[in-house]
Amino acid sequence: MKKVNVIINDQKISVPANYTVLEAAKEINVEIPTLCHLNLHDLKAVNRSASCRVCVVEVEGRGTLAPSCSTYVSEDMIIKTNTPRAIKARRTMVELLLSDHPKDCLTCSKNQQCELQSLAAELGVRHIKYTGEESHYELDTSSYSIVRNLDKCVLCRRCETMCNEVQTCGILSGIDRGFETVVGPAFGLPMIDTMCTFCGQCVAVCPTAALTEASNVRQVWDEINDPDKYVVVQTAPAVRVALGEEFGMEVGTIVTGKMTAALRRLGFDQIFDTDFAADLTIVEEASEFIHRVQHGGRLPILTSCCPAWVKFFEHQFPDLLDIPSTCKSPHEMFGVVTKTYYAEKFNIDPAKIVVVSVMPCLAKKYEAARPELSTNGLQHVDYVIDTRETAKMIKEAGICFRDLPDEDFDKPLGESTGAGVIFGTTGGVIEAVLRTACDWLTGESLEAIDYHQLRGLEGIREGSVMIGDMEIKIGIAHGLGNARKLLEAIRDGKAEYHAIEIMACPGGCIGGGGQPYHKGDSEIIKKRAEAIYREDAGKTKRKSHENTDVLELYKNYLGEFYGEKAKELLHTDYTKRELI
Amino acid sequence: MSGKIQLRIALRNCGVIDPENILEYIARDGYMALGKVVTEMTPEETINTLKESGLRGRGGGGFPTGLKLEFASKNKSDVKYIICNADEGDPGAFMDRSILEGDPHAVLEAMAICGYAIGAQEGFIYIRAEYPLAIERLNIAIEQAYERGLIGKKLFGSDFSFDIKLKYGAGAFVCGEETALINSIEGLRGEPHFKPPYPAEKGLWNKPTTVNNVETLANIPTIINKGAKWFSSIGTKTSKGTKVFALAGNVKKVGLVEVPMGTTLREIVFDIGDGIEGGKEFKAVQTGGPSGGCIPAQFLDIPIDYESLKSIGSMMGSGGMIIMDEDTCMVDIAKYYLDFTTDESCGKCTACRIGNKRLFEILEKITNGDGEAEDLKKLKELGDIIKDTSLCGLGQTAPNPILSTMKYFYDEYEAHVFDKTCPAGICSSLTKYEIDKEKCIGCTLCAKACPVSCISGKVREPHEIEQDKCIKCGACYKACKFDAITKS
Amino acid sequence: MKKIKSYDDLKKLRDQKAAEITATDADIRIIVGMATCGIAAGAGEVFDSIAGEIMKLGLENVTVVRAGCMGACHSEPTVEVVKPGEESVLYGNVDSARAKVIVNNHLVRGDVVKDLVLEKNYETVS
């Protein structure tokens, strides 16, 4: 890449020709404030609308101020980032945004995490000079997963970019014009009536509280404090490599032990591990996969543990509904096992059991309410709280997370193998399936179970694994835009895979809509992925079918792998939905 | 010259030929320029001719047309586009409409010439849907041009082919901005995009594109036929050729005029326009529509060209020229334009979406009689910042009407804010209607006309207006036949 | 209809059509300004009125043309009478009745209808 010479704030530097002024300034340790800008480099998600006008700088020769996030450097460009003119304009832009924004920071769910709040503090805004009309809209609380508060929207258009360009769902876009402009679904439909998959990527990138999760914290507290109820909690793998961030710990720290200890102190009756159920899912899914391979069943098989991906599929590819695995997702399997096997084993009335899932995901809130995911009138999972909500509960309870000792999960639904852990990252589910399927198909206990060819963060990956003389072709996609490409290839008959793994969120669950805000730093997502593989490598058992608790469950209750009882409790079917 | 003030180049065929008959266009040298260019000139020669002519964009920007085409021609691509911007959105402007309704072939020919110059094979005319007659005549013209082989495949037996299609706008002034226009053609929301990259590099469908105004294009065939030297002999040093103006407002002879650059405002308003209606005094002229500024009487003798208008805080704009007489309130005019721009703002960038709205709110406050000294400072400060920070031309120029009226008519603003009066008697909240008891004969006509029944008085006795209830509609003022009601 | 396949084709057609208009025995042209401004002011009725009167009088050497805006929007509807060899005359504020007067006076008798005449303060490039 060619380099160009520029002068920023009287300092001469040489930067690649494809740098923006924003990136060039970073090289001399100047961080120009931004708001609408977002660049998740490796995950190919870029919002460069240049619409907030906060990042403006002076460029010699240009009549007006230039937006540094989208102005590319050129040879001999002279840039000044901190002149009175630029700073005054920047501050005025934030003042203007604040003039049309609710001033309820103290009681706002994004208090201390809001990017507008931070900007106002950084720029030293003390007085909003230009006051006037403030926009007011009705709250959209129609869905289980996402709450839209348009009063707090700053029109950064990040959500629009994620929804249209990265996830290719097209739910959110600009509507109306001028002061009345809003970002939302077409025709002002409530979210629940759209094709929204509730992946929550819009929530993950929203700088303010315009888009937040629908919170279940109050309900979970009520259940915990109800002496009549037996509240059981399970935690997803992606949570344990990210929860620490909410307490100022280094990104990528594995906090499994502290997480368990904290949940116990919150008052949950049993602390279980979704990874256990992940192993269970693998045993069923590997069985299903092998069954299809050996009996000429429909291939490729698609993993189905991601509920956003399932809803996407139901709307957009209803003609291919026989392709996904019929396995329920791990936390749902956990729910049904808890309210049947566990309830029976410990003689607890299932109606008094409350299953709470701690997830990195917002779509799981929607999934938990699906009518078909129930047995005997009881939903498998009662509440889903995401990583951020869990951290809030821990803080509310005054628990000093960083100082907690490491504790273990409870039995008998707490044991997990490395295969269960890697569910949290893209490529992990299919790798876990292979660890079991390869052993079963070859009849051996294979040692080489790190399938590096399936790991990484490229949006669409391919790999193949030899099982005996059979070459199993694998396709992996994360981000629904990439998923769409893979699925269209299947529909057009161009895809030659045996198995495909799809995760709706870029990076997989570690980049889920309910995880601590990454604020545009894709390094955070990378480090979380590394932590997942570290946790896996540190486990003694790394194959799902070696999980003794899981094997106990089959021996004492479910019977055969992929047998009648297993199919009844652990498998589901999908609904054809309309293209709206 | 002939001694006549107006010189019709862009309007040469308007009102002369039947626009629905291509033969009449051909009879007046129609398509001769295209033929010459395609068979006798190279693309470079075509561009050079336009560069030498000094033709500048007539849509308001004033960018040298030849240079714009040169940029696009230099960018390598097998697909390029010519777009004609027929979205004419300025209130009161109808120059482009007249050209499209009166001489559509001129635009078609010019687009093909530009296509040849830059290497484009396809052109789009983006026309606002509110111009049905222009659309109809364009469609007829395109059909007839195709029939005769003057647009389409292998023109004049050469290898050059050029197709033209129409695209309709949908009621958005902002789509007159070239990048918003391009987004609209692509089926996206009509919001502008930051520049650079310019359309010459990455335009329609990311291909090199030039977007030209209707009037600019209408000049091109004549420049080719009569030569760059001829064209550049008309006008001033920096602004060559003529400009079409849509004269409107308080002038006696409203209409379409085309004058050489360098003609003074006085000549246009008083010689062509025949002066102010009703014997009133000239106050100001607004050029450039909502992006422009007002020009007061002291500049009536300024020769009109791009630079001179800019130097006095206005701009050429697309040609709308609104004449205002002494009964115009300049604060109200600024408010009118801000009302327009805030309504038409696309809402993308903070500066325009919220900033211009706040400017409008301050003007409303002032014209409602609630203005404070701070407000005058705020208008200037915020206006300057919005000009400097907005994403596109709409936002950047929206404060111009305020800033220019404040520059030349600051006393009116002060009157509104400090004296709570509107000197021109327009801002109803600041107008007081009073009955002169000496002149009132008690005919009761005013009381009958009052919509809120706030005038009291017995027959044949002087009446009185209850100021608290008065809504300042002026109905009584109009009804009184005895000049007994004063308006202040 | 013949397609134009070369520059020469066009030149020939141009010469032919131009000659038709400037010929001394060319038709009298009555041009009615029919852009949106004219039509809104009633130019449509004026056109019909002129065309009707010409047919009624059986005048054979007259062509009536719907053209674009002549620029005199202050006096629409406008009508221009172009007689070969003579200076053209521009009329303004024409209505259906006055249109008939123009046909009878100016076309038939050669008397310009003075009170409707507008000054043509422009030069048109050709």
Return the HEC string of B169-219: CCCCHHHHCHHHHHHHHCCCCCCCCCCCCCCCCCCHHHCCEEEEEHHHHHH
Domain assignment of residue A264, given as a range: 217-570
Q: Looking at the complex, does the CB of residue A67 fall below 8 Å from at least one CB of chain B?
A: yes
Distance from CA of B388 to the nearest CA of A (A): 5
Q: Which of A54, A65, A129 sits opposite B388 (nearest CB)?
A: A65
Contacting partners of chain C (3+ CB pairs under 8 A)? B
Q: Are residues A297 and A210 in the same domain?
A: no
A118 catalytic? Reply is no
Q: Are residues A223 and A143 in the same domain?
A: no
Q: Which of A98, A127, A156 is the last residue of a domain?
A: A98
Question: Considering the domain boundaries, does residue A118 fall inside one?
Answer: no
A505 catalytic? Reply is no
Both structure tokens of A470? 């059979």
Q: What is the CATH number of the domain that holds A416?
A: 3.40.50.1780
Distance from CA of A43 to the nearest CA of B (A): 23
Q: Are residues A178 and A296 in the same domain?
A: no
Which residues of B fall below an 8 Å CB-CB distance to A?
A: 172, 174, 189, 191, 194, 196, 342-351, 353-355, 357-358, 361, 378, 382, 385, 387-391, 396
Beta bridge partners of B306: none
Q: Which of B349, B378, B396 sits opposite A51 (nearest CB)?
A: B349
Question: Considering the domain boundaries, does residue A293 fall inside one?
Answer: yes
**C and A touch per CB criterion (3+ pairs under 8 A):** no
Cα(C125)–Cα(B258) distance, rounded to whole angstroms?
11
> Would you state the pLDDT for residue B341?
96
Distance from CA of B338 to the nearest CA of A (A): 12
A180 to chain B: which residues are within 8 Å by CB? 347
Cα(A454)–Cα(A471) distance, rounded to whole angstroms?
14
Burial class, A232, CB count within 10 angstroms (exposed 0-12 / middle 13-18 / buried 19+): buried
Asked whether the beta carbons of residue B388 and residue A89 sit closer than 8 angstroms, the reply is: yes
Report the SS3 class of residue A199. Answer: coil
CB B10 within 8 A of CB B88: no
> Would you state the pLDDT for residue A579?
83
Q: Which of B174, B358, B389 sits opposite A130 (nearest CB)?
A: B358
> Would you state the pLDDT for residue B156?
95
Both structure tokens of B458? 């017995």
Residue of B nearest to C17 (CA): B27
> Would you state the pLDDT for residue A146?
96
Q: Which is catalytic among the residues A509, A527, A543, A546?
A: A509
> Would you state the pLDDT for residue A111?
95
Q: Are residues A228 and A201 in the same domain?
A: no
Report the SS3 class of residue B138. Answer: helix
Distance from CA of B170 to the nearest CA of A (A): 13
Q: Under the phi-then-psi rule, with left for phi > 0, alpha for psi from -120 to 50, and beta for the rest, what region is A427?
A: left
> Would you state the pLDDT for residue A77?
97
Q: Are residues A267 and A190 in the same domain?
A: no
Q: Which site among C6, C69, C82, C93 would you substitute to test the B interface, given the most B Cβ atoms closer than 10 Å to its Cβ?
A: C69
Q: Which site among B256, B270, B271, B277 would you substitute to test the C interface, given the most C Cβ atoms closer than 10 Å to its Cβ?
A: B256
Residue of B nearest to C90 (CA): B15
Q: Which CATH architecture has domain B432-487?
A: 2-Layer Sandwich (3.30)
- The domain segmentation of chain B, as residue ranges, is 22-232, 242-325, 330-419, 432-487
Backbone angles phi, psi at B376, to 5 degrees: -65, -40
Asked whether the beta carbons of residue C35 and residue B148 sit closer than 8 angstroms, the reply is: no
Burial class, A403, CB count within 10 angstroms (exposed 0-12 / middle 13-18 / buried 19+): exposed
Cα(A235)–Cα(A254) distance, rounded to whole angstroms?
13
Q: Which of A214, A245, A266 is the last residue of a domain?
A: A214
> Would you state the pLDDT for residue B3?
66
ipTM: 0.95
Contacting partners of chain A (3+ CB pairs under 8 A)? B
B387 to chain A: which residues are within 8 Å by CB? 64
List, in order, residues 6 or more apart from B474 with CB less than 8 Å away: B428, B431, B433, B487
Q: Which site among A20, A70, A72, A130 would you substitute to test the B interface, given the most B Cβ atoms closer than 10 Å to its Cβ?
A: A130
Q: Are residues A201 and A223 in the same domain?
A: no
Asked whether the beta carbons of residue A155 and residue B388 sit closer than 8 angstroms, the reply is: no
Q: Which is catalytic among the residues A163, A305, A306, A438?
A: A305
Q: What is the DSSP string of A83-131?
A: -HHHHHHHHHHHHHHHHTS---GGG-TTTTT-HHHHHHHHTT-------
Question: Considering the domain boundaries, does residue A288 fall inside one?
Answer: yes
Both structure tokens of A175? 């509507």
CB B405 within 8 A of CB B290: no
Q: What domains lie within chain C, and their CATH numbers?
A: 23-124 (3.40.30.10)
Residue of B nearest to A71 (CA): B196
Cα(B67)–Cα(B322) distance, rounded to whole angstroms?
31
Asked whether the beta carbons of residue A93 and residue B389 sit closer than 8 angstroms, the reply is: yes
- Residue length, chain A? 580
Question: Considering the domain boundaries, does residue A112 fall inside one?
Answer: no
Asked whether the beta carbons of residue B189 and residue A174 sit closer than 8 angstroms, the reply is: yes
Q: Are residues A304 and A398 in the same domain?
A: yes
Written as tens digits, the pLDDT of chain C (126 aa) is 789 999 999 999 999 999 988 887 888 999 999 999 999 999 999 999 999 999 999 998 899 999 999 989 999 999 999 998 888 999 999 999 999 999 999 988 888 998 999 988 888 887
B16-55 b/e with 16+ CB inside 10 Å = b?
bbbbbbbbbbbbbbbbbbbbbbbbebebeebbbbbbbbbb
Question: Considering the domain boundaries, does residue A121 fall inside one?
Answer: no
A70 catalytic? Reply is no
**B and A touch per CB criterion (3+ pairs under 8 A):** yes
Q: What is the DSSP string of B215-263?
A: HHHHHHHHHHHH-HHHHHTSB-SSSBSEEEEEEEESBSS-EEEEEETT-
CB A355 within 8 A of CB A298: no
Q: Are residues A405 and A526 in the same domain?
A: yes
Topology at the third CATH level for domain B242-325: Ubiquitin-like (UB roll) (3.10.20)
Residue of B nearest to C39 (CA): B133
> Would you state the pLDDT for residue B1?
41
Q: Are residues A149 and A70 in the same domain?
A: no
Cα(B146)–Cα(A507) distance, rounded to whole angstroms?
54
CB A37 within 8 A of CB A22: yes
Backbone angles phi, psi at A534, to 5 degrees: -65, -45
Q: Which CATH architecture has domain B330-419?
A: Up-down Bundle (1.20)
Report the SS3 class of residue A371. Answer: coil
Cα(A431)–Cα(A419) distance, rounded to whole angstroms?
8
Secondary structure element (H or E) that encloses residue A232, with its range: strand A230-235
Asked whether the beta carbons of residue C73 and residue B255 sit closer than 8 angstroms, the reply is: yes
Q: Looking at the complex, does the CB of residue A506 fall below 8 Å from at least one CB of chain B?
A: no
Secondary structure element (H or E) that encloses residue B32, with its range: helix B32-40
Written as tens digits, the pLDDT of chain A (580 aa) is 899 999 999 999 999 999 999 999 999 999 999 999 999 988 889 999 999 999 999 999 999 999 999 999 999 999 999 999 999 999 999 999 999 999 999 999 999 999 999 999 999 999 999 999 999 999 999 999 999 999 999 999 999 999 999 999 999 999 999 999 999 999 999 999 999 999 999 999 999 999 999 999 999 999 999 999 999 999 999 999 999 999 999 999 999 999 999 999 999 999 999 999 999 999 999 999 999 988 988 888 999 899 999 999 999 998 888 889 999 999 999 999 999 999 999 999 999 999 999 999 999 999 999 999 998 899 999 999 999 999 999 999 999 999 999 999 998 888 889 999 999 999 999 999 999 988 988 888 888 888 888 899 999 999 988 888 888 899 999 999 999 999 998 889 888 899 999 999 999 999 999 999 999 899 999 999 999 999 999 999 999 999 999 998 999 999 989 889 998 899 998 988 888 7
B330-419 has the same fold as B22-232: no
A364 catalytic? Reply is yes
Q: What is the CATH number of the domain that holds A43?
A: 3.10.20.740
Contacting partners of chain B (3+ CB pairs under 8 A)? A, C
Written as tens digits, the pLDDT of chain B (488 aa) is 456 789 999 999 999 999 999 999 999 999 999 999 999 999 999 999 999 999 999 998 899 999 999 999 999 999 999 999 999 999 989 999 999 999 999 999 999 999 999 999 999 999 999 999 999 999 999 999 999 999 999 999 999 999 999 999 999 999 999 999 999 999 999 999 999 999 999 999 999 999 999 999 999 999 999 999 999 999 999 999 999 999 999 999 999 999 999 999 999 999 999 999 999 999 999 998 999 999 999 999 999 999 999 888 888 999 999 999 999 999 999 999 999 999 999 999 999 999 999 999 999 999 999 999 999 999 999 999 999 999 999 999 999 999 999 999 999 999 999 988 898 888 878 888 889 888 898 888 988 999 999 998 888 888 989 888 888 888 888 888 888 888 87
Cα(A186)–Cα(A166) distance, rounded to whole angstroms?
18
Q: Are residues A375 and A268 in the same domain?
A: yes
Q: Are residues A407 and A552 in the same domain?
A: yes
Q: Which of A163, A197, A214 is the last residue of a domain?
A: A214
Q: Are residues A230 and A349 in the same domain?
A: yes
Count of domains forming chain A = 3
The separation between CA B337 and the C-alpha centre of its own chain, rounded to angstroms, equals: 12
Topology at the third CATH level for domain B22-232: Rossmann fold (3.40.50)
Among A269, A270, A247, smallest CA distance to A258 is for: A247
